[in-house]
Structure 1
Amino acid sequence: MKAIVFAYHDIGCAGLKALVEAGYDIQAVFTHTDSPNENRFFSSVARVAADLDLPVFAPEDVNHPLWIERIQQLQPDIIFLFLLSQYAL
């Protein structure tokens, strides 16, 4: 099943790993950019996605028409959201 994942923080990392283990075909992972000024105590979704060889994106505005079109072109069967408040689809 083709999936797109919107994720951040530890819950996003856990969710992403669980989906891969469950056999989902992850087409793209969207996350926030990790700020170098932030004292992060949690895991990086971007790093986990890269370690899993998944395409990862961190757009400023995922609701921009270009990103909407790109997501539509991927034709996901399902979209998962793990803790990303800015990405209200």
Structure 2
Amino acid sequence: MRPSLDDLRRARPDLALAVYAMEPGGEVTLEIYDGGQVYAFKGATEADAILAAFPQETAPPAPVGPDQHVEPNTPGGAEPSPPQLPDRSIFD
């Protein structure tokens, strides 16, 4: 799954956030307000802008509990857990 604004808000309640697309069909901008500073990240979608701000390659793998286990290629398996955002970023 790709991260959403709701995922980011849950993971980082200490940050103020704004997401907008000013031009039809244009890029999406994620603005992050932290300590009087504003950081802007752009992407083709909301998820791309979030990933620009919080690259997943720095994120630890999401823990899989017994109720979150999904067997590969198993129809009707449980929904995977939401994407995990990094514990640390430039905003820490």
TM-score (norm 2): 0.26
Structure whose residues are more often helix by fraction: 1
Q: Which has more radius of gyration?
A: 2
Higher RCO, 1 vs 2 (CA within 8 Å, ≥6 residues apart): 1
TM-score (norm 1): 0.26
